[in-house]
Amino acid sequence: MAVVVEVGTPDAETIQAAITNELSLYEPMRAVIERDWSQDHRQDLLAVEITALGGSRPTGIWSRLDITTVEVRTFEYVPGKHLDVNTFEIKSPNAVNVQAVYEALAHRRAATRSYVLFYVPPDQASALKDDVADVAAAARMHGIGVVTAGDPYDYGTWEELEEARRVEPDPERLNDFVAEQLTEHTRSLISRRLR
């Protein structure tokens, strides 16, 4: 005999718990990206911003990035200055699914690299193993990076499962992103560095 379970719309308390959980990950993960991730990836970052809380700035579906890093790079044998914008889609344990890959893919329209960063506590790692593998497979096909963090505060628990592939976004989209989503301070730093 089959048991039918009706799934209704989540109540406000359930929705608030999920939002609060993800929001609580932003600052510790931003700090680790700025301090440890950038060093490990040999990046000289101009800024690491929590862009998810952009208030009333204009956005479309899946266009509100959670964390964004900005770097202006130069090379010894390649002319010019190169603006790199990395985005991180942050997800709590209850949101480990392939939808996160498509959110990150939407971000990449205006970024050079996009990542999905999942908080996977050690006590839930075994239960989420298959979901994380599905996400990594989808991300690999699209060049999206996948990172898991056992502790949002401790880079030693972070594991990069898929490396993000660098792309060259449309310059107009990249410019619009910088103008609309980043703070005045970061825009000023970019402008000065690109002179």
Mean pLDDT of 58-78: 79
Ramachandran angles phi, psi of 17, nearest 5°:
-65, -40
| Predicted confidence (pLDDT) at residue 152 exceeds the cutoff of 50 | yes
On the 0-12 / 13-18 / 19+ scale of CB atoms within 10 A, 165 is: middle
**Residue ranges of the alpha helices (H) in 49-181?**
99-107, 125-142, 171-181
Specify the pLDDT at position 53: 79
Mean pLDDT of 131-142: 97
Confidence of residue 54 (pLDDT cuts 50, 70, 90): low
- Identify the residue whose tokens are 């990542």: 115
pTM beyond 0.75: the answer is yes
Specify the pLDDT at position 43: 87
Q: Mind giving me the DSSP string for 137-173?
A: HHHHHHT-EEEEESSTT-GGGEEEEEPPPP----HHH
| Predicted confidence (pLDDT) at residue 80 exceeds the cutoff of 50 | yes
Mean pLDDT of the chain: 87
Mean pLDDT of 167-188: 94
Residue type, 5: V
The tens digit of pLDDT for each residue in 96-133 reads 999 999 999 998 889 999 999 999 999 999 999 999 99
User: For strand 67-74 and strand 47-50, is the pairing parallel, antiparallel, or unpaired?
Assistant: antiparallel
